[in-house]
Structure 1
Amino acid sequence: MTRIIKSKYKISRRLGVSLWGSAKDPVATKNYPPGQHGSKGLKKPSDYGTQLRAKQKLKGYYGAITENQFRKIFKEASRLKGDVGENLVGLLERRLDAMVYRLNFGSTIFAARQLVSHKHIKVNGRVVNIASYSLKIGDEIELAEASKNIPVVAASIEKMERSIPDYIEFNTETKKAKLLRFPKLSEVPYAVVMEPNLVIEYYSR
């Protein structure tokens, strides 16, 4: 088990939820935080703690984005017209690693990020190796030709464990996808309830 996977499991256990809905997530049998005092369970949080937890859930879901990165995305969401919470979710879903995860090219968000960084993903016919790359409406995403034969990638695509949401057009024959529109919160297939409104409250303190 790699350090990344261990870290992933710690995120779910610390939050007390199966963040990605995985049946293998140990939170199902160890529903208490990791660490020496974790068996005492989750304490009832304060208002600040509730807001912090909402931020940790959203940030953790997208592969434990760093605080600096997440704050930058939040600031951008605040500058855009419309609801800040909806903008925040839309910007997160526009990340290339998130799109690769949605397409089942990677079995986890961490595997998806690794595919991007190792130059296995093309956007509009050109290799892009920046996980945080922000997609635009109409952008086409695909695996590099040689990458389609990687066993773990082929197995993940074959299983299609997660349904591809309606804001993404996916060609099952060519394995190419297109971002049709920026999604609303209600359209994003989160395994747990996300509360971007509490994230706004957290950063507005």
Structure 2
Amino acid sequence: MSKRIEAKYKIDRRLGQNIWGRPKSPVNKREYGPGQHGQRRKGKLSDFGTQLRAKQKLKGYYANITEKQFRRYYAEAVRMRGDSGENLVGLLERRLDAVVFRCKFVATPFAARQFVNHGHVRVNGRRVNIPSYLVKPGDVIELKDASKQLEVVLVASQLAERDVPDYIEVDHSKMQARYTRVPTLSEVPYAVQMEPNLVIEFYSR
């Protein structure tokens, strides 16, 4: 499990966007970066800066996964057939912690990573505690019986701020879901625009 070494909303403020669409994000009140010089950072970005910002935004969205791990996803996306940007998003959306978040079993991607790591999740009846585990179409994801009535789970399943996407079938009465297919970029319900093509350009320089 990779360790988050900074406050998650600092990612929002550094990027100047509410990347998870959360109502508590400080960007809703202050659209400038943290620190005493935050309001002065308004210069025009270079091509490199634009690509770097796109990478930071996408990497930060998935609970700020490590650079080493993110680069591995890039390498795999480039090896696969088809559009590399679409492939990258498809790989990220197959992460078990991302699927748990999309199912509304927990409120945030950070909580999803911790939830998986603590052994609350089963895939096809088998306990999996690796957040980066890649699920496949047809896999059944469910919470273990002792975790289904946890308050954090019940509260998250009722959140109105986001919906379960079409590529996942969820039964919240059983706290069980089925991953039906790998989504395209347009199907992923990001709160802000993501540009995986710029991420591919950043790494392929």
Task: Provide TM-score, normalisation by structure 1.
Answer: 0.95
**CA shift at 1:57, angstroms?**
0.6
More deviation in 151-160 or 59-68?
A: 151-160
**Structure 1 gap segments, 5+ residues each:** none
The alignment partner of 2:122 has SS state of: strand
- The aligned residue for residue 132 of structure 2 is 132
My pick for the range that moved more, 69-78 or 153-162, is 153-162
SS at 2:91 equivalent? helix
| Aligned: 1:173 with 2:173 | yes
Give the % identical residues: 61
- Does the residue aligned with 2:170 lie in a helix, a strand or coil? strand
For the residue of structure 2 that corresponds to 1:149, the secondary structure is coil
The structure in which a higher percent of residues are helix is 1
- After superposition, the C-alpha distances for 1:100-141 in whole angstroms (9 at most, x for unaligned) are 000111100001111100100110011110000000111100
Q: Aligned residue for 1:154?
A: 154
CA positional deviation for 1:175: 2.2
Using a 3 Å threshold, how does the CA distance of structure 1 residues 158 and 135 change in structure 2: closer, same or farther?
same
Distance 1:134 1:14 in 2: 29
Q: Which residue of 1 aligns with 2:41?
A: 41
**Residue 172 of structure 1: how far off its partner (Å):** 3.4
Matches within 5 A, 1:78-89: 78-89=78-89
Query: Offset of 1:6 from its aligned partner?
Result: 6.1
RMSD over aligned Cα atoms: 1.5
Asked if 1:106 corresponds to 2:109, the answer is no
Post-superposition shift, 1:160? 5.1
Query: SS of 2:177's equivalent?
Result: strand
SS at match of 2:60: helix
Structure 2 CA distance, aligned partners of 1:171 and 1:124? 15
Q: Structure 2: which amino acid aligns with 1:168?
A: I
For structure 2, the residue ranges without an aligned partner over 5 or more in a row are none
Cα shift readout 1:20-52 (whole Å, capped 9, x = no counterpart): 011110011111111231121332111100000
1:104–1:160 Cα contact (<8 Å) kept: no
In structure 1, distance between residues paired with 2:26 and 2:106: 20
Distance 1:5 1:19 in 2: 18
Shifted more, 8-17 versus 148-157: the winner is: 148-157
Structure 1 residue 94 corresponds to structure 2 residue 94: yes
Q: After superposition, where does 1:16-55 map in structure 2 within 5 Å?
A: 16-55=16-55
Report how many aligned residue pairs link the two structures.
203
Amino acid at match of 1:30: R
User: Which residue is equivalent to 2:71?
Assistant: 71
Work out the CA distance in 1 between the residues paired with 2:159 and 2:198. Answer: 35
